[in-house]
Chain A
Amino acid sequence: MQSEIMFAGFGGQGILLIGKILAHAAMEEGFEVAWVPSYGPEMRGGTAYCTVVISDRPIGSPIIKNPLHLVAMNGPSLKKFAPTVKKGGIIFINRSLIDFGADRNDVDEFPVSVVEIAKDLGSVKAANIVALSAFVARSDIVPMETLKHCIKAEFSEKAKLIPLNMEAIAAGEKAARK
């Protein structure tokens, strides 16, 4: 069983980071993982995306043209990648920045206003963690407890940010469950 998750948005949204945290959590759960960034000649404010491959056996091709799930953090990413998502996958949409849909009827389209949620928590910077948490809660791809553990590990050198990120996790989970 293999899942591929593409995280896409623009530079500065923390796209690569949330992909890495998910890959770490899946590794902690005993899965084979690969985190593959886009590293083309992108400029600041340009597109940023990464793919996380999670498998219960050694991963063959780490290059994924058709991911199972998509976390789209801005409009251009949704437009570009929504058609590539496999049937039955989840398309997470950052409703705060994207006012249109995936235009698919064979996927689980899941919009959340992550920027507003993060602002309510006190920092717009936590929007990526809200998105990650909401996606993980919706997909059950790793346990929430493992995700929390990996976020604490990621921010271990900036410990003062951990409480905010734990609130972001709770808010993301709540958005997915309601």
Chain B
Amino acid sequence: MAKVLMKGNEAIGEAAIRAGCLNYFAYPITPQSEVAEYLVRRMPEVGGVFLQGESEVAVGYMIFGAAGAGERVFTTSSSPGISLMSEAISYIAAAQCPAVFVNIMRGGPGLGGILPSQADYLQATKGIGHGDCRLLVMAPASVQEAVEMVMNAFPLAEKYRNPVMILGDGLIGQMMEPVAFPDHLKSEPTNKDAWATNGMDHRKSKSRNLVKSLFLDPVQLNDNNLQLKAKYERMRAETVMSESYNTDGDYTGLIVSYGTMSRVCRTAIDMLKAEGIEVGMLRPQTLFPFPEKALADAVSKPSCTHVLSIEMSMGQMVEDVDRFVRGLLPVSWYGKCGGDIPTPEEVIDVVKERFA
């Protein structure tokens, strides 16, 4: 398959089209505005729609509308913009509609900055909206992986009738790398006649579909929440992804890191290896569901004495790491915020200071 050199943001836009998504509604924000710049030109070429909303709040509900009508739809934004969409995301999850949200994270809180960050981990995995709603969250570490995750996101959103989020840091959006758009990841939108409000004319079923998130009856609302919970349990059982690095042999400690940060850690692990220090890494590719079993397996290695969560945040994923290590080993955090990404040398210093 021929590779092309593409910026992450542009590749994400193209991946959505290749995945059969022809609806993109968005509001520009650095560091992901190139998705819109790309799709404003590209969508008309394929008969798709790019519509710029008047705000992220409006975009969130445009997504809800299209998803409720059974259309493949997605948006991209960055941290403050995602916060503005969070109300709609909760509604979409409650109404059990599929949609894809891409968050190319920048530093926060507040307007923060425009440089790469991973400070929306807790928001994405635990606090995306009010009520008991969760997203399936995937975190790419390269432009190629971002493409594959976007292409996978649409069928997964439809499988679970739930929003899916791609959580990348600013560098994933801004960086250019060679990419291929794998044909085997192309998919057709599934038949949504059973629930989507897509008109009665062409459907066999004559039952009326209603997309809603309001359940005033406590039993009905509890039932809806039980359905959502059952889906989240299915995600935990079926759709966990992670990658291990340097874990075949013995290692004195385990780094847990994702996205761009995990690449810096990989370089640090190679440099430590050259010094005779073995450190393993677990890279979660899904953040929700978290790869708890892979983590438990990795920390069960007798040589492993410490677990270190390295993040471009003030320590968010470390809460999950700590939870799933279950007190078996000391867990600590290292990270930085604001766009100044820790270097391999800094990672090496921390490893040596904590456990090697």
- Chain A positions within 8 Å of B, measured between CB atoms, are 20, 23-24, 27, 32-37, 39-41, 59-63, 65
Contact = CB atoms under 8 A, between A and B. Distances in A.
Nearest to A16: B176
Contacts of B267: 60-61
Q: How large, as a class, is the contact surface on chain B?
A: 20 to 34
Interface in B1-33: 3, 5, 30-31
A51 to B, nearest CB: 10
A175 B3 CA distance: 33
A165 to B, nearest CB: 18
A59 B176 CA distance: 12
Contact of A36 (B171, B266, B268): B171
A62 B114 contact: no
A141 to B, nearest CB: 16
A33 B5 contact: yes
A12 B194 CA distance: 55
- Label chain B's interface by main secondary structure: mixed
Given A60-B266, A61-B343, A63-B343, A37 B5 contact: no
B171 A61 contact: no
5 contacts: A20-B176, A35-B5, A39-B31, A39-B174, A60-B266
A27 B177 CA distance: 9
B174 A37 contact: yes
B144 to A, nearest CB: 10
A34 B31 CA distance: 17
A34 B270 contact: no
Given A62-B263, A63-B264, A65-B343, A34 B3 contact: no
B30 A62 contact: no
A75 to B, nearest CB: 25
Interface string B275-301: 000000000000000000000000000
